[in-house]
Amino acid sequence: MTGELLYSETTLLGRASPRHTRHGPHWTGCFTSRRPKRGCNACVSARTLNDVQQPVKPHAHLAPKSDVYLLRSDGLSCSREIVEANGSLSFACTSSQQHLLVWKQRPKCVMVLKKIGEELEEEFAAVVDFLGREQGLLVVVEDSCHECLVRQGLGKWILPFHPSEAFGLHRAVDFIVSLGGDGLILHAAHLFGTTIPPIISFKLGSLGFLTCHDHRDYRRHLHDVIHGCTELTECGPIKNSSGVALQGIPITLRMRLTCSVDRADVGEGPPPSEDCVEVLNEVVLSRGANPYLCNIEVYERDNYITQVQADGILVATPTGSTAYSVAAGGSMVHPNTPAILFTPICPHSLSFRPVILPDYAVLRLRVSPDARCAAQVSFDGKRGTELAPGDSLRVCMSPNPVPTINHADQTTDWFGSIERCFHWNDRLSQKGLAQAQPPTRP
């Protein structure tokens, strides 16, 4: 009977609440067993458990685990994360941080772009005059805007160019001034193709999600860019070769995507491939005006992922996450997040949700040979080409970002844009209980 009572009380202690078990084995008092009394007292002292041998922990005599290194690799270089002496893993730094631009020499050449039309000619001329006459910079403008500057006597500091000649200008232009909206930033990105100088944008367009500077303060903003910004003090001073402290200009490196079209085999040899296109927002593969759904096979580095039956599919950058992608149900992603967005357009499946992939993903979107129609591909809203059944679109991260100059910092500017442009989380605040009106009876 004693053994039975010990079993009963041990089971009861195992089900005790944590506040009981903290007292250890020296209990005082008694517990009532759920078993029938069977002619004995069901209350015993918990001290009888001291006579029961405690089990030995299975890991008490194990040797320490092996030492390891943890490497982070991008395919070109490696860096180490932190591994403590006990094998605990931790990050050495965040994956992305605030970038700072520091001029080694004073800028000498600037490109000024304005949106199409005559409504901003006055603001355009004022900025060109400030940069050319007051700051002594060579100002590069599109030839379509050159005539209005000559009429105002500003041709002395001006160098006109045709958009078809802009490809090599990145070797001479130090930074770009954008007077317009988001479309003008896309235009600047397409002008340069691959390498693009930093862009400072002023809100003179319709929406202006990417434009964070007020044109009324253009003199101060441009002076800070040319001579260095003194607002950011979190980082220590950076010194040049002469030991002079330099101030950094906060910028956001906006990821772009490299897209190329691979045609289906037409005979012997490798399939033909078309020129690469760089996009800042998104690339869209859709059915266009065809009456049938797109039938697209999706691969990641030649690994089959899924088959899409939808109106289309779009692959977006974090910058493009607040454009077409968010309208199609995708998430809004901070522009410094290393990610690629994969968003279906009106999928023929309720379970097909948008996903976010790492930036090293390499996607291949192949129009199924069984597709009923061809697919249309567009790059940043501009129609590109048609993909016949068997053709594929290859999408990966571009090594050439679009650097945009921040007004404050990349996170403050981004949250300010989604609040200003999208009225994000805009609602009346709930009143406190003291201010709330009592419910009225009908």
What are the two backbone dihedrals, phi and then psi, of residue 420, each rounded to the nearest 5 degrees?
-75, -40
Task: Give the torsion through C-alpha atoms of 295, 301, 303, 305, to 10 deg.
Answer: -40
Q: Which of 182, 262, 391, 413 is catalytic?
A: 182
- The answer to whether residue 182 is catalytic is yes
d(CA 270, CA 263): 10
158 burial type by CB count under 10 A (0-12 exposed, 13-18 middle, 19+ buried): middle
Q: Any idea which residue has 């591909």 for tokens?
A: 377
The length of the chain, given as a count of residues: 442
The candidate with the shortest Cα–Cα distance to 112, out of 25, 173, 189, 45, is 173
**Burial annotation 75-105 (CB, 10 A radius, 16+ → b, else e):** eeeeeeeeeeeeeeeeeeeeeeebbbbebee
Q: Nearest 5°: CA angle at 240, between 235 and 242?
A: 135
Contacts of 340 (CB under 8 A, 6+ apart): 257, 315, 316, 317, 356, 357, 358, 359, 361, 363, 395, 397
The helices-and-strands tally (H runs, E runs) of the chain is: 8, 25
Q: How far is CA 137 from CA 132, 349, 368, in A?
A: 5, 57, 54
Beta carbons of 176 and 111 less than 8 angstroms apart: yes
249, 222 in Cβ contact below 8 A? no
- Can you list the positions of beta strands (E) in 2-156? 71-73, 78-80, 82-83, 89-90, 99-101, 109-114, 138-142
Tokens 């097909």 belong to 352
Q: Which residues form the catalytic set?
A: 182
